[in-house]
Every structure is written in C-alpha cells, then in structure tokens.
Amino acid sequence: MKQLLLGLGCWFCLVNGLAAAEPPGGYALREGDIVFSGSPVGQGEAIMAATGSRFTHCGIVFMREGRLMVLEAVQPVRVTTVAAFMQTRRPAVVAVRRLKVPLTQEAGAKAKVWAAAQIGRDYDARFEWGDDKLYCSELVWKVFEKAGVRLCEPRRVRDYNLQHPKVRETIRARFGANANLRLDEKVVAPSDLAASPLLEVVRREKE
C-alpha cells in the first residue's frame, strides 16, 4: 500500500506540468489524464444505448515506478498498465481528457489517499452511489471530488434512455424487474465525464 501511495502521489505532479512517456498511438499522456474506451461487449451495448455515447469505460492515468498505469474500476478496482488497458478493450482507448486547471499538491494529496484505498474494492454492477462498491465513472468522479473538483453534476437513473430493449434486458438481469430499479439513484456515466467543461481534449474519439 505504501508503494502504491507513492506511485499515486506522482500522479499529482500535474501541478508542475510533468508529462509521462508517450504510449502507443502517438500522443503524450500525463498523470491525471482520464482515458475513455468504448466497446459493445458485455454491458457495453446497454451503456451505449442508455447514454447515446460510444464511451463505456474510463480510468485515470498516473506514473508508477516510471511506467504509465491506469486506475480503473473493474472486478475488482485495480491498477493496470496503459498498454493492457488498451489491449483488453475494443476499439481500445478512443479518447483522452485532461483538467484545464491542474490540481494543487494539497488537493491531489487528499485524492491520492482515497484513491489508493479503493484498490481491491468490488465492482458495482448495479450502479449505486455508495462507496462500498464502485463502477468506473463513479470511481473517476469521486477521486476528483476528493480533490475538490466536481467534473459534472451527477444525474439520475431516470435521465437515461431506459426503454431501449438492450437496456431493459440488462435491468432485468441486474434487478430482477424494471420496477426494482431506483429511478432517482445518483449516477454518472463515462459520457458525462467526457463532456465536462473542466476538461480539455487530448485525443479525440475515433470516427
């Protein structure tokens, strides 16, 4: 855990504008960048239908022992390399966003402690807002919130397209029946983060 905290601490060297090594794809990532991917595999098709976006997953980039890594909420919340993040998703990383105003060291320190504590936490397949389990965009949103940055306002489940057949199918699988879904539950999707006015585009999504 101590080693992980040190690695995550480097992430917030954003305040000094430090860039990481250039990953595959020909663009330079920096610690603190948010990487987005899109794939219809698994629950991806339902997420695309509900949000009207190609983004189905996201994570945060940081440097650890000289290597680019990604903190992401899968099962469980974990740290993986950028290369692995790209290889295990299709069409791989499709977009990168970066804070327009870098975090201060103090703000970053608060976030890194909370972020490190989430490693190994279970994935939240029901997309609920509590901290006992986390889904990908919830993890990213809350890490930045711990640093005093609200990337966007959380929405409600009812704000998304719940009538699409694939969405309804997924709801039945996760909740037993559509009626069991909490329509007023807070939620934030990868597409909501990508649209944040606090972020700038580093790499645009593929056409």
Q: Among 3.90.1720.10, 3.40.50.300, 1.10.287.70, 3.80.30.20, what is the CATH number of 2-203? A: 3.90.1720.10
Q: What is the mean pLDDT of residues 28-37?
A: 90
The residue extents of the domains of the chain are: 2-203
The pair of structure tokens assigned to 77 is: 């919340």
Contacts with 71 (C-beta within 8 Å, 6 or more apart), sequence order: 8, 59, 60, 62, 77, 78, 79, 115, 118, 119, 139, 143
pLDDT, position 86 = 77
Q: What is the mean pLDDT of residues 10-28?
A: 44
pLDDT, position 204 = 64
Q: Each residue of 8-21: b (16+ CB within 10 Å) or e?
A: bbbbbbbeeeeebe
Name the 3-class secondary structure at 104. Answer: coil
DSSP secondary structure code for residue 78 in this structure: E
Q: Would the pLDDT of 23 be above 90?
A: no
Q: What is the mean pLDDT of residues 145-173?
A: 95
pLDDT, position 157 = 96
pLDDT tens for 37-52 read 988 888 999 999 999 9
pLDDT tens for 119-157 read 999 999 999 999 999 999 999 999 999 999 999 999 999
